[in-house]
């Protein structure tokens, strides 16, 4: 039941430079991932959530969010089947009353046998949590967590950046999400987007690269690790779509230049600047749910100077950008990923695909992710349910 995510050694051998990336069907371990929006978990509430093939229980206690694996260490049942909480900061399993401290995972009481030797000696896995910019970030891994700033794109955490967003479940592997978002020339699918009407955007049909090095890898020992797509600076944009020399399509010739600074960061987060308008930046995550699904967490960040600025952006987000950009425009990306998944669920896809010149940022991303990732998530990781204290 557990070896589903192993890859045929022949395939790994033929794609040696992407090995870790190809193995990481369930994502990379030892990173901070966004889960729920902060507003989705109110004081005293418990919610279950999926991350990297695993199931978490999130709870907010005195304002602070805790995350534990949603599995009792005794017989492996999920707490969330019937939440019992008899004392703030604890959760009690409905099956035999195994009670855990949410902060430490410690088994602090067993109601059905209060004298058990296991009490105080075992704990379930807890997951470090940080709330930032309206998102609950959870650290999935075994190492000492790095700073959150290492795992999000530059600028996201800056003080005067205000962030709004939404989350959707997409039926495609997380890597398909990353590559669709980072793919410079996939703008072709957006040529008829509802976002183009009334917004005077400049959006070509594609790009002719004029240099082989149209990307820049950020690969320092500390800080975020990622790739900048520099195609915008090294290309001729395509505004006339031709078949057999005949023009059959036109790009969108608006006055507003957007999306000229695109980058993709470990573990799975894209930054597009400026987007969807000249004073905003879109940050979006493709967070692994399991081998075949990811949470698409879309956010738009904007510099604000005052509460009034926030309120203005709140209104603008709710009335315009959420509908036209996050839903209208990006819905095309969602179905494109789901269409791609049918092929990439076969590991042979990594051998069979034919990437072209404009995809060099994607291959540099794959190499970087294979070389710099902090660990590969496996099904075995999700089945662990208890450790000695």
Identify which of 130, 169, 178 has the alpha carbon closest to the alpha carbon of residue 28.
Answer: 178
130 sits near a second copy (criterion: CB under 8 A): no
Residue 320, helix vs strand vs coil: helix
The C-alpha atoms of residue 47 and residue 269 are separated, in whole angstroms, by 24
Between CA 377 and CA 267 the distance in angstroms is 12
**Footprint of a second copy on 24-43 (CB under 8 A):** none
Helix residue ranges, H only, the chain: 9-14, 19-23, 174-182, 307-316, 331-344, 349-352, 360-372, 379-383
Tokens linked to 69: 């694996």
In angstroms, rounded to a whole number, what is the distance separating the alpha carbons of residues 249 and 205?
8
Return the residue of 114, 120, 254, 278 that touches a second copy, per CB under 8 A: 114
Give yes or no for residue 253 binding a second copy (CB under 8 A).
no
Q: Is 372 in the site for a second copy (CB under 8 A)?
A: no
- Could you give the C-alpha distances from 219 to 11, 107, 181, 273, 369, in angstroms and in order? 27, 41, 20, 20, 10
Q: In the bound complex, what is the minimum distance in angstroms from residue 49's beta carbon to a second copy? A: 16
As a whole number of angstroms, the longest Cα–Cα distance in the chain is 83
Residue among 242, 254, 319, 389 that touches a second copy (CB under 8 A): 242
Compute the least distance from the CB of residue 160 to a second copy, in Å: 36
CA 95, CA 320: separation in Å to the nearest integer?
48
Per CB under 8 A, the list member of 246, 255, 305, 307 interacting with a second copy is 246
Candidate list 71, 175, 293, 360; residue touching a second copy; CB under 8 A? 71
Residues 341-360 that bind a second copy (CB under 8 A): 342-349, 352-358
Q: Which is nearer to a second copy, 113 or 160 (CB)?
A: 113
Instruction: Choose which of 148, 202, 218, 383 interacts with a second copy (CB under 8 A).
Output: 383
Residue 247 CB, shortest distance to a second copy, in Å, is 10
CA distance 12 to 21: 10
96 near a second copy, rule: CB under 8 A: yes
**Could you give the strand order of the β-sheet that contains 107-110, starting from the edge strand earlier in sequence?**
90-92, 98-101, 107-110
Q: Which stretch binds a second copy (CB under 8 A): 109-117, 257-265, 281-289, 370-378?
A: 109-117
Among 13, 115, 255, 308, interactor with a second copy by CB under 8 A: 115
Q: Is 126 one of the binding residues for a second copy (CB under 8 A)?
A: no
Q: Is 14 in the site for a second copy (CB under 8 A)?
A: no
* Interacting residues with a second copy between 181 and 210 (CB under 8 A): 183, 185-189, 205-209
Quick count: other Cβ atoms within 10 Å of Cβ 122? 20
- State which of positions 206-225 bind a second copy (CB under 8 A): 206-209
Identify which of residues 80 and 299 has a Cβ nearer to a second copy in the complex.
80
Would you give the DSSP letter of residue 84?
A: B
């Amino acid at each position: 039941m557990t070896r589903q995510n192993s890859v045929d050694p022949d395939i790994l051998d033929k794609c040696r430079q992407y090995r870790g990336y190809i193995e990481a069907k369930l994502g990379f371990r030892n990173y901070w991932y966004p889960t729920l929006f902060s507003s989705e978990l109110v004081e005293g509430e418990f919610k279950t959530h999926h991350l990297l093939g695993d199931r978490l229980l999130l709870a907010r206690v005195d304002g602070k969010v805790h995350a534990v694996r949603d599995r009792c260490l005794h017989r492996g049942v999920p707490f969330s089947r019937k939440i019992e909480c008899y004392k703030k900061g604890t959760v009690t399993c409905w099956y035999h009353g195994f009670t855990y401290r949410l902060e430490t995972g410690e088994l602090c009481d067993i109601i059905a046998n209060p004298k058990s030797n296991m009490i105080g000696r075992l704990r379930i896995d807890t997951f470090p949590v940080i709330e930032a910019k309206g998102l609950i970030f959870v650290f999935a891994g075994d190492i000492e967590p790095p700073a959150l700033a290492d795992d999000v794109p530059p600028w996201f955490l800056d003080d005067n950046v205000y962030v709004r967003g939404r989350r959707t479940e997409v039926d495609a592997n997380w890597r398909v999400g990353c590559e669709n978002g980072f793919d410079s020339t996939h703008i072709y699918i957006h040529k008829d987007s509802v976002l183009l009407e009334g917004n005077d955007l400049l959006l070509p049909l594609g790009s002719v690269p004029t240099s082989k090095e149209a990307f820049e890898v950020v690969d320092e020992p500390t800080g975020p690790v990622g790739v900048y797509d520099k195609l915008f600076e090294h290309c001729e944009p395509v505004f006339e779509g031709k078949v057999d020399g005949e023009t059959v399509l036109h790009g969108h010739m608006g006055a507003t230049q957007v999306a000229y600074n695109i980058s993709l960061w470990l573990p799975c987060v894209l930054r597009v600047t400026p987007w969807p308008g000249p004073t905003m930046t879109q940050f979006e995550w493709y967070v692994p749910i399991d081998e075949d699904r990811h949470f698409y967490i879309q956010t738009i960040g904007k510099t604000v100077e005052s509460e009034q600025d926030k309120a203005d952006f709140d209104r603008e987000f709710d009335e315009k950008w959420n509908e036209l950009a996050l839903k209208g425009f990006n819905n095309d990306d969602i179905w494109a990923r789901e269409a791609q998944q049918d092929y990439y669920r076969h590991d042979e896809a990594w051998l069979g695909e034919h990437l072209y010149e404009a995809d060099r940022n994607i291959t540099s991303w794959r190499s970087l992710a294979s070389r710099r990732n902090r660990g590969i998530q496996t099904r075995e990781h999700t089945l662990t349910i208890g450790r000695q204290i």
